[in-house]
């Protein structure tokens, strides 16, 4: 009797839980999963988007992308950005967070605000700024020539290697502060006494960093890692606004190429092919996120 009553009570609570998460779940189902299913159907089709035909063979769009040199270039570029930019950015962010977490540091709020400022700047201005800074007659060239590092003005955005470097710099500039806030918040949750104890045990700064800070920050690191991977694999704005994919498609990203195939320059929209490439990106992100969670998740 008593047992039964308790069951219904738990049942009631569980039902309340379902009720709470229903609106969000329904919205995601309708606004993300349902369109995704439609997109998948589209990825098996070809032709103009007003009159799409089934592909023959049905996975033609999928096999096609692996023979597409520009798409393969864009995959390579995106991974290059991912491999270089994400680690540098996250390490810099942790470092900054660690420095700003120092009890004795003054003007903390000021520094924190400065470092966060870039990600509050609007995209258009940020692209314009980087373009003009790195222009052939821009400030960076002026400074480097003046210091004697460069012999003559260099066309940073006109050469493929340096254009990639500028994109990576721009990404680091824009997103380091954002990630730092997560780490800083994580660090503030670590009791200061833990550090004091470590100091008494004779651990130096480096050791405490690896033995205490990193393990305690692990959930935050995993979260920022997944977010950054996701963000970089879907990188679009920087490629479009800074270099327009150039010179000669050498900086184009996957999302930029997909956009070009659906709405962009060229005038020929091929939604079937574009959505097929989208699924490729989706699978990549999902796989990487999964590996990340498996590798990082030792807690449970």
Partner 1 sequence: MTEKKNRSMIQRRLIPTYIFLIIVAFFSVFPFYWMISAATNTTFDVANGKITFGGELLTNFQNLLANYDLWRAMGNSFLYAVVQTLLAIVICSLAGFGFELYHDKWKDRLFSVLLLAMMIPQVATMIPLFKMLSSMKLLNSVWGFILPSLSTPFLIMLFRQNSRNFPVDTMEAARIDGLNEFQIFYRMYMPMMKATYAAAGVITFMNAWNSYLWPKVIMTMPEAQTMPMLIANMSGGYTTDYGMLMVGVLFCSVPTMVVFFILQKQFAEGITGAVK
Partner 2 sequence: MKKRVLSILLAGVMAFSLAACGGGSDEGDQAEQEGGGNKLTVFAWDPAFNIPALEAAAADYKENVNPDFELEILEQAASQDVETAVTTAASAGDYSNLPDMVLFQDHYIQRYVADYPDAWTPLGDIDINWDDFAAEKLDYSTIDGEHYGVPVDNGTVVCAYRTDLLAEAGYTIDDLTGCTWDEFMEIGKAVYDKTGKALLCMNSDGNDLPYMMMQAEGVSQFKDGKPYITENETLVTIVEKLVQMAKDGTLLMPNSWSDYTDKAIQGDQVAGVMNGNWIIPTIEKVDANSGKWEITTMPTLSGEEGYASNGGSSLYITSNCSNVDLAKDFLAHTFGGSTVTYDNALKDGGVISTYAPAGETDVYNEGVEYFNNQPIYADIVEMGTHVQIVEQSDYHYSARNYVGTAIVNIINGADTMEALQEAEDQLNFEMGN
Write out the binding residues for partner 2, residues 238-257 only, by CB under 8 A: 243-249
Q: How many CB atoms lie within 10 A of CB 48?
A: 12
Task: In angstroms, give the least distance from the CB of 220 to partner 2.
Answer: 28
The verdict on 37 binding partner 2 (CB under 8 A) reads no
What are 26's two structure tokens? Answer: 């329904």
Binding to partner 2 (CB under 8 A) within 4-33 occurs at none
HSE on the CB side for 215, CA within 13 Å?
Answer: 8
Nearer to partner 2, 18 or 263 (CB): 263
Q: What are phi and psi of 151, to 5 degrees?
A: -75, -45
Per CB under 8 A, the list member of 13, 14, 22, 48 interacting with partner 2 is: 48
Count of residues that interact with partner 2, criterion CB under 8 A: 30
Q: Give CA–CA dist 187/216, Å, rounded.
A: 8
Nearer to partner 1, 39 or 198 (CB): 39
Binding to partner 2 (CB under 8 A) within 188-227 occurs at none
Binding to partner 2 (CB under 8 A) within 105-164 occurs at 131, 135, 137, 155, 157-159
Task: In angstroms, give the least distance from the CB of 129 to partner 2.
Answer: 13
HSE on the CB side for 23, CA within 13 Å?
Answer: 2
Q: Give CA–CA dist 165/130, Å, rounded.
A: 12
The verdict on 68 binding partner 2 (CB under 8 A) reads yes
Residue 96: contacted member of partner 1, partner 2, none (CB under 5 to 8 Å, by partner type): partner 1
**CA distance readout (Å), 9 to 4, 5, 18, 177, 292:** 9, 6, 14, 46, 38
Task: Please report how the helices 108-120 and 160-188 are oriented relative to each other, as an axis angle in degrees rounded to 10.
Answer: 130
Task: In angstroms, give the least distance from the CB of 99 to partner 1.
Answer: 5
**CA distance readout (Å), 266 to 104, 106, 234, 247, 257:** 57, 54, 21, 16, 11
Residue 185: contacted member of partner 2, partner 1, none (CB under 5 to 8 Å, by partner type): partner 1
Residue 149: contacted member of partner 1, partner 2, none (CB under 5 to 8 Å, by partner type): none
Nearer to partner 1, 102 or 248 (CB): 102
Residue 246: contacted member of partner 2, partner 1, none (CB under 5 to 8 Å, by partner type): partner 2
Considering only CA atoms, give the Rg of the chain.
24
Task: In angstroms, give the least distance from the CB of 143 to partner 2.
Answer: 19
Stated as kind and residue range, the H or E segment containing 29 is none
Q: Which residues bind partner 2 (CB under 8 A)?
A: 48-51, 67-70, 131, 135, 137, 155, 157-159, 243-249, 263-269, 271
């Amino acid at each position: 009797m008593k047992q039964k009553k308790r069951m219904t009570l738990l049942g009631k609570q569980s039902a309340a839980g379902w009720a709470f998460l229903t609106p969000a779940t329904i919205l995601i189902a309708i606004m993300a999963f349902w369109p995704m299913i439609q997109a998948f159907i589209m990825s098996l089709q070809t032709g103009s988007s007003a009159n799409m035909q089934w592909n023959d063979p049905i996975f033609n769009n999928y096999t096609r992308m692996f023979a597409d040199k520009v798409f393969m270039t864009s995959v390579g570029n995106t991974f290059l950005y991912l491999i270089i930019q994400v680690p540098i950015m996250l390490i810099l962010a942790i470092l900054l967070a660690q420095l700003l977490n120092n009890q004795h540091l003054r003007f903390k709020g000021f520094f924190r605000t400065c470092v966060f400022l870039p990600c509050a700047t609007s995209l258009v201005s940020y692209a314009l700024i980087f373009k003009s800074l790195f222009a052939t007659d821009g400030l960076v060239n002026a400074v480097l020539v003046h210091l004697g590092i460069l012999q003559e003005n260099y066309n940073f955005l006109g050469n493929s290697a340096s254009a990639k470097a500028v994109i990576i710099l721009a990404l680091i500039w824009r997103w380091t502060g954002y990630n730092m806030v997560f780490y800083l918040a994580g660090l503030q949750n670590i009791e200061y006494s833990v550090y004091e104890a470590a100091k008494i045990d004779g651990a130096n700064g480096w050791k405490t960093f690896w033995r205490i800070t990193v393990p305690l920050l692990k959930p935050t690191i995993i979260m920022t890692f997944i977010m950054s991977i996701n963000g970089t694999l879907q990188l679009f704005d920087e490629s479009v606004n800074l270099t327009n994919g150039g010179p000669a498609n050498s900086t184009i990203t996957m999302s930029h190429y997909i956009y070009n195939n659906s709405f962009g320059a060229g005038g020929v929209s091929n939604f079937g092919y574009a959505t097929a490439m989208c699924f490729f990106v989706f699978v990549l992100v999902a796989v990487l996120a999964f590996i990340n969670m498996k590798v990082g998740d030792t807690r449970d």
